[in-house]
């Protein structure tokens, strides 16, 4: 993490009450973590792709070495798809491809973290009652090649087939918990994400007294 840290947030706010609270929390988190952060509100499906490609170009032409990149994608969606402001869909796989080892040389062997706040289906999770050495990615026979996809972490707000909850004033439980943990804790990213998963239970909008404005 000694080099530049870059982040891109693409967020559809229309018909997604509470999104501004999530954007504010993300902005605070990126400042705390000393990221160079860019935000694009209400992208169309095509602009999701275009903004990722612009981000890739910025990374590859950055004046200093880049340590890692965060991409936050927030919109209505379904499994494998995000809905742009224009109501059209873009494939998540197409967005993930933009920063892979083939298309973004500056991020080879560098962490690429994708945060996806979007529904992945129509099912609702009603919850349960509760009582708490360097790896080198090359082959021995062909040391000049590396896999197309490495060092990428995809973090979803919900599991496959289910909606993602969002409070109409306080934002999404997932983004609010993630930004709180990442801003106030230190440690390996997988440990922090485990803490996010546990703490998100206490923010779940299925609890009494909270209103949910809809999925994603």
Active site residues: 76, 119
- Taking Cα atoms as reference points, which of 161, 155, 148 lies closest to residue 109? 148
Contacts within 8 Å (CB) and 24+ apart, 135-144 = 137/109
- β-pairing verdict for 66-74 and 112-117: parallel
> Which token pair is 90?
């873009």
Q: How far is CA 138 from CA 12, 60, 70, 107, 147, in A?
A: 39, 22, 24, 16, 7
Distance CA 43, CA 8 (A): 12
């Amino acid at each position: 993490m000694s080099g530049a840290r870059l982040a891109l947030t693409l967020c559809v706010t229309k018909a997604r009450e509470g999104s501004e609270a999530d954007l504010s929390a993300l902005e605070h988190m990126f400042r705390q973590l000393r990221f160079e952060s860019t935000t694009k509100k209400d992208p169309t499906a095509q602009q999701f792709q275009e903004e990722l490609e612009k981000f890739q170009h910025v990374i590859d032409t950055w004046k200093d070495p880049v340590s890692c990149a965060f991409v936050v994608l927030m919109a209505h969606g379904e499994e494998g798809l995000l809905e742009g402001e224009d109501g059209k869909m873009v494939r998540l796989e197409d967005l993930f491809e933009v920063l892979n080892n083939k298309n973004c040389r500056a991020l080879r062997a560098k962490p690429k973290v994708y945060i996806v706040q979007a529904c992945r289906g129509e099912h609702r999770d009603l919850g349960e009652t509760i009582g708490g050495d360097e790896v080198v990615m090359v082959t021995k026979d062909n040391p000049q090649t590396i896999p197309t996809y490495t060092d990428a972490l995809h973090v979803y707000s919900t599991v496959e087939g289910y909606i993602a909850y969002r409070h109409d004033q306080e934002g999404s439980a997932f983004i609010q918990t993630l930004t709180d943990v990442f801003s106030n804790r230190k440690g390996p990213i997988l440990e922090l994400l485990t803490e996010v998963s546990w703490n998100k239970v206490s923010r779940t909008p299925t609890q009494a007294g909270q209103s949910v404005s809809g999925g994603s």
